[in-house]
Amino acid sequence: MLFKYFYDQALAHASYMVGCQKTGEAIIVDPGRDIEQYLLAADREGVKIVGAADTHIHADYVSGARELADRVGAKLYVSDEGPAQWKYDYANAYDHQLLKDGDTFSAGKVEFKVMHTPGHTPESISFILTDKGGGADQPMGIFTGDFVFVGSIGRPDLLEEAAGIMGTAEPGARDLFKSIKRFNELSDHLQVWPAHGAGSACGKGLGSIPSSTVGYEKLFNPALQYSDEQEFVDYILSEQPEAPKYFSVMKRVNKEGPTILGELKLPQKMGTDGIRDIVANNMVVDTAVPKQFAAAHVDGTINIQPKYLAMWGGSLLDYDQPVYLISGSHDLPEVVRILHKIGIDKIAGYFSAEEIINGGFNTGNIPQETPKQIHEKMGTGEVVLVDIRGQSERQAESISGSSYSFLGKILQNTDQFEPAKTYALQCQNGNRSVIAASILKRAGIENVINLDGGIEAWKLAKLPLESNDRAMANAN
């Protein structure tokens, strides 16, 4: 049996190639949209990709299943569980098998058995793997998708929080409790291969270890320790991370069928002469690291460095409007790849970061001030300190006297900021707050400062922090 693991750090997304070396066939489980990695691996291993299997309609990235079906004729293996609104609209255009609980499909002598595991989403399924070509008559592992992670489980509130389908969180949690009962009946030796690791917003407290076993998760996964259903429901619906705004878009895209991209095409290079007009009328993203952007940038651009694009690009950019980039030539392919992975395809062009710098267009800046400087100004009322982190971060600790505006929603909340006031933006280490500051400046709030080093630097300076209760009161 052939087994290969792929991990996209930008999205904390894991996908898998499983193949039968005897027949030269392979299936990709939970593929990402950038399918070149799978094609190259298949060529190296001497196998043909004959199938693409999705565990559910993903919310955090564009699935590569349709791309594989269109490019190499891969057969689609997708769920037929759940209500009518959670079916794959595009599947009929390709060779496909709709899957229900107990169904099987194969790559040569390697068998996948379907287990319906609703809760994270109604149609969610897992795949139990048996290597029959190796003579096994018992399974060796399970692809859990967003059902069971290492040290956590998939959140059941995304349909309500991100897709706006009200009244689904608690029923989803109860479905998840029933699914866990089935999981707990599996043999302890089975390996667990999830679709996400630490950093994903599809659950809370995900581990960074790539895989686990059913037995280990039974012993140590906090979500698997509940025997009382209501206690489990209360646990799983509490303290979930904010659902990124773009998750609702991904649900629709993956249900209806993503646009076929083909091989990666870079956007056209723009001449610097017209940059000010383009910035005045369009969203332009400068992908420089935050300190570099804060020191000098084109007025009116916003800053999202590549490592933050997957999370914040989808929440802050308009999917229906063109976006322009300022990027170094070395970073550009990765920047475009990440944007495509979250479904942002309308990339109208890019400006060379080197040419922008050499041309003297970087006339804007965001002052960086130390915790001591900002603390003194807060004391005199000169600045308002705004915490832009997630609520779970703020609940853990916050700066005394700070107010709150979550980064993922700050673009639509700029009218809450008064142009005459000076705002100091604060995150954990001073990077995300530059994104927030750039958005406020683009909206016409000129007096913005970045807290250099964020709350981490504030703690090192031994300046006052706030109790959890006070922190959350200021967040409301």
pLDDT digits (tens, 9 = 90+) for 429-452: 999 999 999 999 999 999 999 999
> Measured in Å, how far apart are the chain's first and last C-alpha atoms?
54
Q: Which CATH fold topology does 368-475 show?
A: Oxidized Rhodanese; domain 1 (3.40.250)
Each residue's pLDDT tens digit, 341-395: 999 999 999 999 999 999 999 999 999 999 999 999 999 999 999 999 998 899 8
Contact indicator for 214, 183 with CB cutoff of 8 Å = yes
Task: Look up the pTM and report it.
Answer: 0.90
With a pLDDT cut of 90, the percent of the chain lying above it is 82
Q: Looking at residue 473, what is its pLDDT?
A: 46
In 347-398, alpha helices (H): 353-358, 371-380, 391-396
Q: Does the pLDDT value for residue 215 go beyond 70?
A: yes
Mean pLDDT of 265-270: 94
Q: Does the pLDDT value for residue 467 go beyond 70?
A: no
Distance (Å, rounded) from C-alpha 405 to C-alpha 420? Answer: 18
Each residue's pLDDT tens digit, 159-175: 776 666 777 889 999 99
Q: Does the pLDDT value for residue 198 go beyond 90?
A: no
Mean pLDDT of 227-238: 94
Q: Does the pLDDT value for residue 475 go beyond 50?
A: no
Q: C-alpha dihedral over 304, 308, 311, 316, to 10 degrees?
A: -10
With a pLDDT cut of 70, the percent of the chain lying above it is 97
Q: Looking at residue 472, what is its pLDDT?
A: 47
Contact indicator for 222, 238 with CB cutoff of 8 Å = no
Q: Token match 């976006």: residue?
A: 323
Q: Looking at residue 476, what is its pLDDT?
A: 40
Tokens coding 75: 């057969």
Q: Looking at residue 327, what is its pLDDT?
A: 96
Q: What are the percentages of helix, strand and coil residues in the chain, rounded to 5?
A: 35, 25, 40
Q: Does the pLDDT value for residue 455 go beyond 50?
A: yes
Which helix (H) or strand (E) covers residue 426, if one does? Answer: strand 423-426
**Residue 339 CB-density burial (10 A; 0-12 exposed, 13-18 middle, 19+ buried):** buried
Q: Which CATH fold topology does 272-358 show?
A: Oxidized Rhodanese; domain 1 (3.40.250)
Mean pLDDT of 262-270: 92
Q: Looking at residue 1, what is its pLDDT?
A: 94
Q: Across the chain, what does the average pLDDT equal?
A: 93
Q: Are strands 465-466 and 398-399 parallel, antiparallel or unpaired?
A: antiparallel
User: What number of helices (H) and strands (E) belong to the chain?
Assistant: 18, 25
Each residue's pLDDT tens digit, 306-335: 989 988 998 899 999 999 999 998 999 999
Architecture in CATH for domain 2-256: 4-Layer Sandwich (3.60)
Distance (Å, rounded) from C-alpha 328 to C-alpha 343? Answer: 22
pLDDT tier at 468, thresholds 50, 70, 90: low
Q: Looking at residue 466, what is its pLDDT?
A: 86
Tokens coding 446: 């000129």
Mean pLDDT of 256-280: 93
Asked if the domains at 272-358 and 368-475 fall in one CATH topology, the answer is yes
Q: Looking at residue 160, what is its pLDDT?
A: 72
What lies within 8 Å, CB to CB, of 462 at 6+ separation is none
Give one DSSP letter per residue of 237-286, joined into a string: TSSPPPPPTTHHHHHHHHHH-PPP--S--PPPBPPGGGHHHHHHHSEEEE
Q: Looking at residue 10, what is its pLDDT?
A: 87
Contact indicator for 434, 368 with CB cutoff of 8 Å = no
Q: Does the pLDDT value for residue 471 go beyond 60?
A: no
Higher-scoring residue by pLDDT: 299, 159: 299
pLDDT tier at 281, thresholds 50, 70, 90: very high
Mean pLDDT of 12-21: 96
Mean pLDDT of 145-172: 84
Q: Looking at residue 164, what is its pLDDT?
A: 65
Domain ranges of the chain: 2-256, 272-358, 368-475
Q: Cα dist. 369→32, 97, 228, 383, 385 in Å?
A: 40, 58, 50, 12, 12
Each residue's pLDDT tens digit, 40-92: 999 999 999 999 999 999 989 999 999 999 999 999 999 999 998 889 999 99
